[in-house]
Amino acid sequence: MSHFTNMKTRFQNLFYLEKSLNRLNIEHKRQLVNSDNSMTNLVIAQPNGYDIQFCWNGNEYDLVVDMSYWSQPYPVESFIDKIAQQYAGEVIIGESQKIGFEPIKYHQNKDGSNTLVLERWNGKNS
């Protein structure tokens, strides 16, 4: 018997969520939910046919999965944590670039944390 679980996330931006999945080499595809293209879910195919989805609930993307058929190399909590960590980095980079910062270093440390260095030059001559 299938039992789908909806797990709340803090992922609110489709662009950053997709960048995070890409950076983690997690293959996914977009799934349009309605005909006016205003709502898009992300689907991660699993070899067993029971796909993982990030479904828009109007505020954020819920992770929807049948836990009986979880077929990833790590537990669901680790899966979410990896994506959340990458998502946070993507948001910081993207939003910082909007106000003139540029990433100059992005490094994953041995402990699993990331180091991100941004810089911004003052355009005014002193």
Based on the structure, what is the number of domains in the chain? 1
Checking if the pLDDT of 19 tops 60, the result is yes
* Full domain range(s) for residue 63: 4-119
Residues, the chain: 126
The pair phi, psi for residue 69, each rounded to 5°, is: -120, 25
> What is the per-residue pLDDT across 49-70, written as a single tens digit (0 to 9) for each?
999 999 998 899 999 999 999 9
Helix-strand-coil split of the chain, %, nearest 5 = 30, 30, 40
Q: Is residue 126 part of a domain?
A: no
Q: What is the pTM of this model?
A: 0.85
CA–CA separation, 61 vs 33, rounded Å? Answer: 13
Asked if residue 125 is part of any domain, the answer here is: no
More confident residue, 87 or 122: 87
In a domain, 43, yes or no: yes
Answer whether residue 124 is part of any domain.
no
- List the Cα angle 108/82/8 in 5-degree steps: 150
Q: Considering the domain boundaries, does residue 112 fall inside one?
A: yes
